[in-house]
């Protein structure tokens, strides 16, 4: 769906931003399209991390909402692993040491060759996101 939805975007000027699992997808798309990306507390190996959740689950934002996480979703995540980062200068990762969901050290290791912004504290949601906008806009060559 991501590939189809962005097929007509001009690679030279496009950019993507993704948070958590979205950061994993954004990494894949940036590798496919040679575009810039900003990754906010990006998932590094969601196939590994989510394999234990196969079966019926409840939505985190509404425990009364239920869904079924199927085994083939893990296979799809494995297939989207971007492998070695071939143009790390196009990627920027904002990583919070206070992330309560993902291991910030694993993120830092995965994106070590990229532009890194390691934030002391904060959280998985990057509640202080506004503080990072100037450097994000700079990386994406956007005017603030």
53 domain-assigned: yes
Structure tokens at 50: 């989510």
- Does any domain span residue 91? yes
pTM for the model stands at: 0.93
Enumerate the β-bridge partners of residue 136: none
34 with 98, same domain? yes
Residues 135 and 117 in one domain: yes
Quick one: 128 and 92 in the same domain?
A: yes
Q: Token pair for residue 129?
A: 């996101």
Residues 91 and 135 in one domain: yes
Check whether residue 92 and residue 135 sit in a common domain: yes
Same domain, 55 and 122: no
Q: What is the pLDDT of residues 40-60, one digit of tens each?
A: 999 999 999 999 999 999 998
Whether residue 73 sits in one domain with residue 39 = no
- Per the prediction, the chain carries an average pLDDT of 95
CATH of the domain at 109: 3.40.50.1820
- Over the stretch 96-119, which tens digit does the pLDDT of each residue have? 999 999 999 999 999 999 999 999
Same domain, 112 and 73: no
- Domain carrying residue 52: 47-80
Distance separating alpha carbons of residues 68 and 136, to the nearest angstrom: 35
Residue 144 included in any domain: no
Whether 135 shows a pLDDT value over 70: the answer reads yes
pLDDT at 41: 98
Rounded CA-CA distance 105/67 in Å is: 31
Predicted local distance difference test score (pLDDT) of residue 118: 98
- Residues 52, 34 share a domain: no
């Amino acid at each position: 769906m991501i590939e189809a939805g962005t097929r007509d975007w001009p690679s030279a000027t496009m950019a993507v931003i993704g948070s958590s699992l979205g950061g994993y997808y954004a990494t894949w798309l940036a590798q496919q399209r040679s575009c810039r990306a900003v990754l906010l507390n990006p998932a590094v190996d969601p196939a590994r991390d989510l394999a234990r959740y196969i079966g019926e689950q409840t939505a985190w934002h509404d425990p009364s909402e239920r869904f079924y996480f199927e085994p083939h979703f893990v296979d799809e995540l494995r297939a989207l692993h971007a492998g070695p980062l071939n143009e790390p200068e196009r990627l920027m990762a904002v990583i919070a040491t206070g992330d309560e969901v993902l291991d910030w050290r694993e993120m830092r290791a995965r994106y070590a060759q990229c532009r890194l912004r390691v934030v002391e504290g904060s959280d998985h949601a990057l509640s202080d996101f506004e503080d990072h906008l100037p450097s994000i806009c700079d990386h994406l060559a956007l005017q603030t």
